[in-house]
């Protein structure tokens, strides 16, 4: 049932000569003699709640998929709680400081996950146990969660995404998230498309369970979009009016206006392919392109009448010559 004690215990070099027997004896005392049971909440007074500190250390933003409305961030949770069944005297046990073991852990889950609903951790995510019962657990993961995207001011938009964790099985009076939990960015690597403007942490009680919401406020870096979308659209808008300067005899007025119209249509297709199908927010940029397309149609209609009138006069002159 149990792993070997040598595989479970980590004994730092504190100037004492700890042996394998020291680790085995302490392991036997805690897990066999005292009958440690990880199915039980590790608190002497079962009427009290276990306070769990949940700090989120985010290391990077893998992607923010606007079309799927999904954010994927890499990082780990720093969970700390106190296990009153795992307390020992360091001096009496040759200064053994901590161990690694599979013990009772809070069943924390990513509530707004994008793909599937599952408990965090795994078989290789051991916990660190201190002599005074302090437990530290660091499950690392790439968290994919839902994120509503507001594209009204694309590409100068700001987005707010929430990563929500909850204690699933235990009620708040059994396991409660500590109010001092934090959102850490000490190891964060800057994203090339999105910048973090602020973060916040909120703790709620939903349906009897304790949950923590890590909020990330993001601002898009617009340089790429300015160079590849905004500036070409401005130039196309200028070219759209130059069609009236082209002489009617040149024979290129209609083809010119059609080319500008198709260029706007291509840009509209490119933008809509990068944005979610969302009826609640329409990009101002898309509205601008639709207006330009309407203007292109108006320009083409005016050119058609202009060319018709111009060539009608030519037809009348030719008729007079033949007469």
CB neighbours of residue 142 within 10 Å: 11
Q: What are the DSSP calls for 262-273, one per residue? A: HHHHHHHHHHHH
- Please report the sign of the dihedral spanned by the C-alpha atoms of residue 307, residue 310, residue 313, residue 315: negative
Contact indicator for 61, 269 with CB cutoff of 8 Å: no
- Domain 5-220: CATH class, spelled out: mainly beta
pLDDT of residue 133 exceeding 70: yes
Question: How far is it, in rounded angstroms, from Cα 125 to Cα 55?
Answer: 16
Give 56's pLDDT tier (boundaries 50, 70, 90).
Answer: very high
Query: Domain segments of the chain: what residues?
Result: 5-220, 223-322
Phi, psi values for residue 175, rounded to 5° = -135, 120
Give the CATH number of domain 223-322; options: 3.40.50.300, 1.20.58.390, 3.30.70.260, 1.10.3720.10: 1.20.58.390
Q: What is the pLDDT of residue 16?
A: 52
Averaged pLDDT, 140-152: 89
Domains 5-220 and 223-322 share a fold: no
Contact indicator for 91, 126 with CB cutoff of 8 Å: no
Q: For helices 253-273 and 284-322, what crossing angle results, to 10°?
A: 160
pLDDT of residue 145 exceeding 50: yes
Q: Which two tokens stand for residue 224?
A: 């790429």
Q: What is the pLDDT of residue 94?
A: 67
Averaged pLDDT, 82-96: 80
Q: What is the pLDDT of residue 17?
A: 57
* Share above pLDDT 70 across residues of the chain, in percent, rounded to a whole number: 84
Give 250's pLDDT tier (boundaries 50, 70, 90).
Answer: low
Displacement of CA 200 from its chain's centroid (Å): 14
Prediction pTM value: 0.79
Q: What is the pLDDT of residue 323?
A: 47
Q: What is the pLDDT of residue 11?
A: 47
3-state class of 257 per DSSP? helix
Q: What is the pLDDT of residue 185?
A: 92
Burial 34-44 (b: 16+ CB within 10 A, else e): eebeeeebbbe
Beta bridge partners of 127: 101, 137
The burial class, CB within 10 Å (0-12 / 13-18 / 19+), for 107 is middle
Block residue for tokens 């660091």: 138
Block residue for tokens 């019962």: 133
3-state class of 308 per DSSP? helix
């Amino acid at each position: 049932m149990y792993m070997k004690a040598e595989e479970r215990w980590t004994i730092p070099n504190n100037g004492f000569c700890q042996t394998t027997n020291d680790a085995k004896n302490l392991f036997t005392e805690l897990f066999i003699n005292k009958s440690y049971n990880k199915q039980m909440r590790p608190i002497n007074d079962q009427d009290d709640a276990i306070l769990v500190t949940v700090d989120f250390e985010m290391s990077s933003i893998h992607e923010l998929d606007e079309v799927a409305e999904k954010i994927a961030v890499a990082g780990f949770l720093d969970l700390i709680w106190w296990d009153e069944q795992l307390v020992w005297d360091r001096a009496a046990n040759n200064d053994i400081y901590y161990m690694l073991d599979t013990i009772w852990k809070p069943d924390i889950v990513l509530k707004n996950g994008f793909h599937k609903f599952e408990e965090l951790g795994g078989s290789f995510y051991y916990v660190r146990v201190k002599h005074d019962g302090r437990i530290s657990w660091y499950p690392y993961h790439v968290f994919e969660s839902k994120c509503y995207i507001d594209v009204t001011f694309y590409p100068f938009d700001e987005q707010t995404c929430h990563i929500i964790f909850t204690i699933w099985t235990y009620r708040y009076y059994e396991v409660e998230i500590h109010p001092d939990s934090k959102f850490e960015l000490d190891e964060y690597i800057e994203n090339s498309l999105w910048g973090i403007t602020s973060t916040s942490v909120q703790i709620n009680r939903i349906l009897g369970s304790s949950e923590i919401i890590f909020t990330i406020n993001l601002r898009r870096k617009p340089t790429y979009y300015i160079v590849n979308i905004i500036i070409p659209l401005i130039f196309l808008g200028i070219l759209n009016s130059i069609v009236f300067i082209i002489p009617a005899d040149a024979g290129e007025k209609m083809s010119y206006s059609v080319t500008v119209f198709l260029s706007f249509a291509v840009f509209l297709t490119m933008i809509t392919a990068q944005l979610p199908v969302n009826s609640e927010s329409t990009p101002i940029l898309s509205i601008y392109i639709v207006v330009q397309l309407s203007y292109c149609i108006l320009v083409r209609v005016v050119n058609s009448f202009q060319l018709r009138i111009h060539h009608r006069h030519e037809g009348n002159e030719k008729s007079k010559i033949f007469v």
